[in-house]
Amino acid sequence: MAKQSFDLPLLATPRPSDGDDRREVAVVLKALMPGDPSLNLSSVDPVGEIKALADTAGVRVAGVVLQKRNRPHPGTYVGKGKLEELSQLAVKLEAQLIIVDDPISPGQGRNIEERVELRVVDRAELIMDIFARNARSHQAKLQVELAQLQYSQSRLTRMWTHLSRMEGGAVGTRGPGETQLETDRRIVHRKISILKKRLAGIEKQAQTQHKSREGSFRIALVGYTNAGKSTMLKRLTGSDVLIEDRLFSTLDTSTRNWALDVPFDVLLSDTVGFIRKLPHGLVASFHATLMEAREADLLIHVVDASSPTIEFDMESVERTLSRIGCDEHSKLVVFNKLDRVHEDQQFGLRHLMAKQEHSFMVSATDGTGIDLVVERVLSIAHERQQSGSYKLPHSRSDLAAKLHSMAAVDHEEYLEDGIVIEARFDPGQKARWEHLLMKAGLLPPATD
């Protein structure tokens, strides 16, 4: 019996070492549609990003077939003539794989495979394969597996098409192919249920952890993949984190203490990078991981200032932030990789900075401009600290002691009719203190 398809990696070739040419050879197929950056920017390679993705997945792109279209062909993605051109080029280059630079339907994939007689992988499959390669923690591995299984659900029929080509009439044709297909569907459905339960448990633990951090100032680094978020985390906190010049090198959220001159903990988190046409299944599966961004008090949007598609990259990040409910978050925009910006990019970069309320030009690699970012974060952190003035009866010295443990007391004065205390609170602590006062039957006075 054939090995069940969902247990196989989407791309079987391991990532090669530098200089190793023994990689799977692919031809990229792309429909250039309105809104594609390369149609408006002559300096942009229309397949630059998919080539980088393929390279990250251990595949060498040997050829490209492009077609300008207003919309994809509903049956074959591109026209018949382009499919014939694709088939001829694949034979000439001895390709083993076709990569489509868009998410395509199962029917489109099946029709392309029949025309070119080669395996077809679309953009979503390629990205999920990269996620599978880079997942290190148990949580990330479960998240990727869930996304792959959900993606494969609607494609099981295509995977078993070869078994449906058996000869015979209607009677007795309910053969091994259909039986195995139904078996696969049941197994996939069961696995998806199990993975969702496991991830729900992990998310519950994460929510408990988040509650324990309520008194902290939480900051999340967000941005397009390979924008330099991990380098920024290392520069700001001095922590030792994985840094690679590759797409999606970080999938697991890294949280580090950031030693700033404030009387409460500051936690800085590095999150998974975003990308254009990020598969919806991955966004849904990484719900718990993306919680770091949703629960953050401040977002630092790290932008690759040297990217030729910088505006499109920023728009992609903003759309993804909107999808996960971060529209109203406080945010700083940090244009990173200043050391790689060419002179002809300077004017456009200044224009982009002028459009942002709080933006900075930095190089996380050599530290240029980082001090201004730290200064602004410190200012925001100090603004978060709340203060209050309270008058307690002498009989409630226990509450006075409690206030000393919950806040920084700036002034304390014993009067005939009570104790007056002025205090500064860590984030979240003032509301807790005033709740204690309400339970004690003491109305909180006006606070500044």
Domains of the chain, residue spans:
5-15+22-136+152-162, 214-383, 385-439
- pLDDT band at 153; cut points 50, 70, 90: confident
**Host H or E run for residue 194:** helix 176-212
Instruction: Give me the pLDDT at residue 72, please.
Output: 94
Instruction: Give me the pLDDT at residue 30, please.
Output: 96
Of 232-236, 339-343, 360-364, which gets the smallest average pLDDT?
339-343
> Percent of the chain, pLDDT > 90?
39
* Fold held by 5-15+22-136+152-162: Rossmann fold (3.40.50)
Which strand ranges, in their side-by-side order, compose the sheet holding 359-361?
254-257, 266-270, 217-223, 298-304, 331-336, 359-361
What are the residue ranges of helices labelled H in 57-137? Answer: 80-93, 106-116, 123-134
- pLDDT band at 37; cut points 50, 70, 90: confident
- pLDDT band at 264; cut points 50, 70, 90: confident
Instruction: Give me the pLDDT at residue 250, please.
Output: 62
Q: Which of 259-273, 298-312, 432-446 ranks highest by mean pLDDT?
A: 298-312
**Measured CA distances, 274 to 50, 101, 156, 277, 279 (Å):** 14, 16, 28, 9, 10
Instruction: Give me the pLDDT at residue 445, please.
Output: 47
113 CB neighbour count, 10 Å cutoff: 15
The answer to whether 406 touches 429, Cβ cutoff 8 Å, is yes
Q: How many residues does the chain have?
A: 448
Q: What are phi and psi of 328, to 5 degrees?
A: -95, 5
Instruction: Give me the pLDDT at residue 366, please.
Output: 94
- pLDDT band at 1; cut points 50, 70, 90: very low
Instruction: Give me the pLDDT at residue 362, please.
Output: 96
Instruction: Give me the pLDDT at residue 144, please.
Output: 84
Of 129-133, 149-153, 211-215, 428-432, which gets the smallest average pLDDT?
211-215
Section 201-207 average pLDDT: 77
Q: Which of 185-189, 236-240, 313-317 ranks highest by mean pLDDT?
A: 313-317
- pLDDT band at 212; cut points 50, 70, 90: low
* Distance between CA atoms of residues 147 and 281, nearest Å: 5
In the predicted structure, residue 31 carries a pLDDT above the cut 50: yes
Instruction: Give me the pLDDT at residue 18, please.
Output: 47
**Host H or E run for residue 72:** none
> Hey, what are 181's tokens?
């297909």
Could you tell me the pTM of the whole model? 0.73
* Fold held by 214-383: Rossmann fold (3.40.50)
Angle at 221 between CA 270 and CA 377, to 5 degrees: 125
Identify residue 135 by its one-letter amino acid code.
A
Instruction: State the average pLDDT for the chain.
Output: 82
Instruction: Give me the pLDDT at residue 239, please.
Output: 82
Q: What is the DSSP string of 48-79?
A: HHHHHHHHHTTEEEEEEEEEE-SS-BTTTBS-
| Fold match, 5-15+22-136+152-162 / 214-383 | yes
Section 70-77 average pLDDT: 95
Section 283-300 average pLDDT: 78
Instruction: Give me the pLDDT at residue 347, please.
Output: 85
